Structure 1
Amino acid sequence: MATRQRRKPARARDTALTPELIIDAALRIADTEADLDRLTVRRLADQLGIGTMTLYGYFRGKDEILDGMADRVLGRMRLPSTPDAGPAEALRTVAYAFLTMMREHPSIVRLLGSRVTDSQTALRGAMEAVLQRLVDAGLPGPVAVRCYGFLITYAIGFASYQAPRPWGRRDSDTSAEQRRQRRHFYAGLPIDEFPRIVCLAEDVVEMAGDEQFAAGVEAFIQSTLRGQD
C-alpha cells in the first residue's frame, strides 16, 4: 500500500509575525513585479513561511493587504524639513518627493493607477501634508490643489515610463553604457523609414532621462507662477 506523503511544515520564523512584517513582505514582492496580480495571498504566505489561514488572521484578503501597502508608502512620504524659499521651491520639493517615493516603491504607481484609498494615514502623509506645504509657501488653496493634481499624475506617468528604460536614471553606475547602447540602436534604424529618430538619436534617448522630468517640472512652475502675477 502506498504511503501517504507528509506535508512539509512551514519554515520556522526567526521573529514574531506582525502586520508590519506582512506589509514589508508584500511590498518586497510587489516592488519587484510588473503586475500586482502576481502578489497573491498564497505567495505572500509562502514568502513569510506561514500558512494562508494564519495570514487571514491579520488581513481578511488581498484588498486589505493592498490598502496596508498604500498606508505604509503614502503615509510615510518624506518631505524635507527645511522650509521652502517660496512657491517655486515648494513645487520642486513636492515633485521630487513624489518621484522619489515612486522610485523606491514602484508598486505604488500601480496601486495609485488601480485603486482609490480612503485611508486617513495615506491621506495625511501624501495629501494633507503636501497641500499644507504648498499653501505655506504662498500658493492659494485652489491653486495648490491643481498643482498637487498635476505633480502627482506627472510623477506617476514619468516613473511608469522610465521604469523599463533604466538608461534614463542618472543615479545608476550602468546608465551611461545603457544610454550609449540605446543611442546606437536609434541611430542604426533605417534612415529612409525613421529620418527624424536617426537624426535626433542623441535627444530621443534622453526622453526617459532625469533631465526630462526636471524640464517638465520647471515648465509647469513657470506657467503656474506666471498665472499668479
Structure 2
Amino acid sequence: MDPELLWSQTEGPRRGRPPAHSRAEITAEAVAIADAEGIGAVTMRAIASRIGAGTMSLYSYVPNKETLLELMVDHVSGDHRLPPGPSGDWRADLRRLAREQRAIMRRHPWLPAALHTRQTLGPRTLTVLEYALGALEAAGLEAGAGLEAFSLLTGFVAGHVSYELAQEQATVAAGRTSSELQDAQARYLQGVALSGRYPRLAAALVSASASAPEDAGPDAAFERLLDRMIDGLTAGGAAST
C-alpha cells in the first residue's frame, strides 16, 4: 500500500458525469456494517447493497479491502474529542486520551484487532498523535521516545478493550451474570490457594483481596491499570508530577 497515494491525493473531479458516490460514503457504510455485524461482514457487495451501487463500481473509489480497512481506522479516529493542544498536565492529558480511545474501541469492537494490521497513519490519526506527542513533551520525553510511548499506550488500551469484550461475550455465551462468573472464579482460585501448591499466588490473592477498592467495576479496573501504564511510560528518565 502506498500511503502517498492513499492520503496525499484527494478525490479529484472527473470528466463527464459527477461521481455518484464518494470514498467517504463508502468508508462510513463499511464502519456501520462492521459495528453491527463484525469486520467479516464488510464486503464490497454488502456496501454496494446499502448505497444502491454496483459492486464493481466501488473499486474505482477503494481498490481493495486492505485499503478500505485503513480508511475505516482513520475514519473512527475522528471520533476523538480532544482539545486543540495539551494542557501541560501530561498525566491528565494521557488519561483523557486513553479514555477516549477506550470509548471509541468499545463503540467499534472491530477496531482493536484492526490496529494490529494497520500499515499507515491517516490524517485523523496523525492529529491524535500530535496531541499525544505534545502531552509527552511535558513529561520530558524526546520525540522518538514519545512515538514509542504513544504506541505502547494505544496497545494497552486495545488489549484491555479486547479482554473486556471477550469477557462480556463469554458471559453471554455462558448464560450467567457477570457476578455469577466472578463468584465461580473466586471460589476456584480460593481452592487453588488452599492447595498449598502455589504459595506466591496465594499471597498475591490475599494481598489483592485486602486492598481491593470498594468500586471494583470495569471502569475502576481500567483506571488502576491505566495509572500503572502511564507510570511505566516515563520511568527512568522523565519528569514526574
- After TM superposition, the score normalised by the length of structure 1 is 0.69
Match of 1:128? 130
Determine if contact 2:27/2:68 at 8 Å carries over to the other structure.
Answer: yes
Determine if contact 1:162/1:208 at 8 Å carries over to the other structure.
Answer: no
Determine if contact 1:94/1:151 at 8 Å carries over to the other structure.
Answer: no
Counterpart Cα distance in 1 of 2:46 and 2:108: 19
Match of 1:210? 219
Q: What letter is aligned with 1:221?
A: I
- After TM superposition, the score normalised by the length of structure 2 is 0.66
Change over 3 Å in CA distance of 1:191–1:181 after alignment to 2: same
Match of 1:173? none
Determine if contact 2:74/2:121 at 8 Å carries over to the other structure.
Answer: no
Match of 1:98? 101
Cα deviation, 1:4-24, whole Å, max 9, x if unaligned, reads: xxxxxxxxxxxx643222211
Counterpart Cα distance in 2 of 1:163 and 1:27: 18
Deviation at 1:65, TM superposition (A): 1.6
Deviation at 1:223, TM superposition (A): 4.0
Give matches, 1:25-174, under 5 Å: 25-34=29-38, 36-81=39-84, 83-119=86-122, 121-135=123-137, 137-141=138-142, 142-166=144-168
Deviation at 1:60, TM superposition (A): 1.9
Match of 1:181? 180
* Partner of residue 21 from structure 1, selected from 19, 25, 29: 25
Counterpart Cα distance in 1 of 2:149 and 2:189: 42
Determine if contact 1:31/1:107 at 8 Å carries over to the other structure.
Answer: yes
Q: Secondary structure of the residue that 1:109 maps to in structure 2?
A: helix
Gaps of 5+ in 1: 1-15, 168-176
Determine if contact 1:134/1:144 at 8 Å carries over to the other structure.
Answer: yes
The size of the alignment, in residue pairs, is: 199
Change over 3 Å in CA distance of 1:221–1:56 after alignment to 2: closer
Match of 1:9? none
Counterpart Cα distance in 1 of 2:150 and 2:87: 16
Change over 3 Å in CA distance of 1:38–1:20 after alignment to 2: same
Deviation at 1:153, TM superposition (A): 0.7
Change over 3 Å in CA distance of 1:207–1:41 after alignment to 2: farther
Counterpart Cα distance in 2 of 1:63 and 1:74: 17
Counterpart Cα distance in 2 of 1:226 and 1:56: 48
Q: What letter is aligned with 1:112?
A: L
Let me know the Cα RMSD of the aligned residues: 3.5
Determine if contact 2:88/2:135 at 8 Å carries over to the other structure.
Answer: no
Counterpart Cα distance in 2 of 1:104 and 1:216: 21
Match of 1:11? none
Deviation at 1:52, TM superposition (A): 0.3
Deviation at 1:184, TM superposition (A): 3.7
Counterpart Cα distance in 1 of 2:86 and 2:147: 19
Q: What letter is aligned with 2:80?
A: M
Deviation at 1:90, TM superposition (A): 2.1
Counterpart Cα distance in 1 of 2:118 and 2:148: 21
Determine if contact 1:70/1:111 at 8 Å carries over to the other structure.
Answer: yes
